[in-house]
Amino acid sequence: MKEKKDLRYLCYPYMRESASTVDFEIRTDSLTTRIGQAASLTKEIPVVHEDLMYLLPMVYHLNGSVRGKMAITEEDVNRLSKMYDFYVAEVKDRIDRFVLPQGTTAACVLHVCRSEAKKSVRALHKVSLEKEVPKRLFDYTHLLANVLFVMAVYVNKINGVEEIPFISKSYPVKRMKKSEE
């Protein structure tokens, strides 16, 4: 008789796979956890809190779309794009330069979310070297990182925190011209 595994010693069933899919799934799980943390810190800003609560299950849908059935639709990408447009319209005068990831606790956690989303893009790229990944998943993940950035800046704005520009000593950075906005 086969001995039944004690599941308390298994945190994730695919952990020993060598495929990059596992790394993507772990990255997006981390991102989802951070979004939940950000949501807990933004209850006093209803639009941000509601958007983050919407994004929580969406990132898990993104997570499962690589190994399982594609769960991110064009409508999902469009909704995320509209979210991006809303926040950019609110903070466009604050994002014409590279800024330091600082400010309120909620904004700082949103910057961590942005960073986790970028790591998810990178992990998705690694998956794409092993198997085909629909462009829609890349679009969604890239856009998600950008939404989380403008959300962070919006949270700082709502709380009266100024952004601190970062001037690189390594790379020349051009400010956006008004005509590019």
Q: Domain containing 163 — which CATH number?
A: 1.20.1200.10
Q: Which helix (H) or strand (E) holds 138?
A: helix 135-158
13 falls within a domain: no
**Cα(44)–Cα(23) distance, rounded to whole angstroms?**
34
Residue 164 lies in a domain: yes
d(C-alpha 13, C-alpha 25), whole Å: 12
Residue bearing tokens 């609560």: 53
pLDDT in tens, 26-41: 999 999 999 999 999 9
In a domain, 5, yes or no: no
Q: Flag whether pLDDT at 130 surpasses 60.
A: yes
Residue 33's contacts (CB-CB under 8 Å, 6 or more residues apart) are: none
Quick: pLDDT tens for 71-117: 999 999 999 999 999 999 999 999 998 999 999 999 999 999 999 99
3 state SS of 70: coil
Domain count of the chain?
1
pLDDT at residue 181, rounded to an integer: 40
Predicted pLDDT at 69: 96
Note down the domain range covering 154. Answer: 18-173
